[in-house]
């Protein structure tokens, strides 16, 4: 059984504290992570060579490429993640201990992607501009890598990766905007609605489940790991309400305000017409 360097001797001897599994080989986790990083680097070059649709402005080409690659990752890992829940419902019985190759490898692949994307953000000098994304990636990479290395809490990572289901619609929404699809177009409205619904469930439920798990199962993991997880979850629970409010305000509240202004404008015209007569 693997043991972490962060553990002290008393924790290593505590039978309640889970320190990892030998059910999967560590080398495959690292192989998945490294292969994923290389794959997304290659995909980045391919998308660069193909270029964005003609409607996308020159100044937005880098942004388009980054969003498209993020969208592709969300499509692959979001689908993979849903299949893990369907095929292995017993995973929910113990999110700390449960592990097999399908769940383990999806965590490795996603870790490689987030490393790639964080490096891309830094290289394009968007680290501070997109501070919430940067903090999110740092939090995810730190916890995913540790769980990948220790081969523990993989079930919790799979729960966390439900967010990629929402990310598919989140990135689809932005790509549609860059392709000049109108906010009032039926397809954009559908994507925007699915984005909010999956945000509330896939991100909201997953964060709630992980936070609840920390409350009831914190004693089962090493102390330093638990404290680091608390820091990561503090960041995640703080960022997501901000992101949800931005989306709600951008796609729905703005439309309501415009309708209200339009109605008020028509009323003012009617009132002026009556006064003139």
User: From the first residue on, what is the mean pLDDT of each consecutive set of 10 residues in the chain (277 residues)?
Assistant: 41 61 93 98 96 84 93 98 98 95 98 96 87 85 93 95 96 93 91 93 92 88 82 78 80 63 48 43
pLDDT of residue 255: 63
Rounded-to-integer distance, Cα 144 and Cα 229, Å: 10
Which candidate, 151, 157, 160, places its Cα nearest to that of 207? Answer: 160
Q: Are 116 and 37 in contact (CB under 8 A)?
A: yes
The answer to whether the pTM exceeds 0.85 is no
User: Can you say how many angstroms the Cα of residue 90 is from the centroid of all Cα atoms in its chain?
Assistant: 24
**Rounded to 5°, angle at Cα 182 from 179 and 183:** 120
**Tokens representing 143?**
């916890």
Q: Burial of 86 by CB count in 10 Å (0-12 exposed, 13-18 middle, 19+ buried)?
A: exposed
Residue appearing with tokens 């790991």: 225
Residue appearing with tokens 């490429």: 65
pLDDT of residue 241: 81
pLDDT of residue 257: 58
pLDDT of residue 272: 46
pLDDT of residue 15: 57
pLDDT of residue 236: 77
């Amino acid at each position: 059984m693997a043991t972490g360097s962060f553990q002290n001797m008393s924790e290593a001897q505590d039978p309640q504290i889970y320190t990892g599994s030998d059910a999967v080989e560590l080398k495959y986790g690292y192989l998945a992570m490294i292969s994923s990083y290389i794959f997304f680097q290659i995909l980045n070059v391919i998308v660069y060579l193909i270029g964005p649709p003609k409607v996308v402005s020159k100044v937005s080409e880098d942004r388009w490429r980054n969003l498209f690659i993020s969208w592709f990752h969300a499509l692959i890992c979001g689908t993979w993640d849903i299949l893990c829940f369907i095929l292995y419902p017993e995973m929910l019985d113990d999110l700390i201990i449960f592990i097999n190759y399908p769940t383990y490898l999806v965590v490795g692949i996603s870790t490689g992607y987030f490393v790639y994307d964080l490096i891309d953000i830094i290289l394009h000098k968007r680290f501070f501009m997109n501070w919430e994304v940067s903090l999110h990636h740092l939090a995810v990479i730190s916890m995913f890598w540790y769980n990948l290395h220790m081969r523990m809490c993989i079930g919790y990572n799979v729960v966390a990766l439900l967010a990629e289901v929402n990310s598919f619609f989140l990135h689809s929404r932005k790509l549609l905007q860059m392709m000049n699809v109108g906010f009032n177009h039926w397809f954009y409205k559908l994507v925007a609605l699915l984005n909010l619904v999956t945000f509330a469930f896939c991100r909201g439920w997953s964060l709630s489940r992980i936070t609840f798990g920390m409350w009831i199962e914190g004693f089962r993991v090493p102390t330093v790991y638990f404290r680091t997880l608390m820091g990561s979850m503090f960041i995640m629970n703080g960022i997501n309400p901000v992101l949800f409010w931005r989306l709600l305000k951008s796609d729905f509240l703005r439309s309501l305000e415009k309708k209200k202004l339009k109605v008020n404008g028509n009323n003012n015209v009617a009132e002026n017409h009556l006064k003139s007569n």
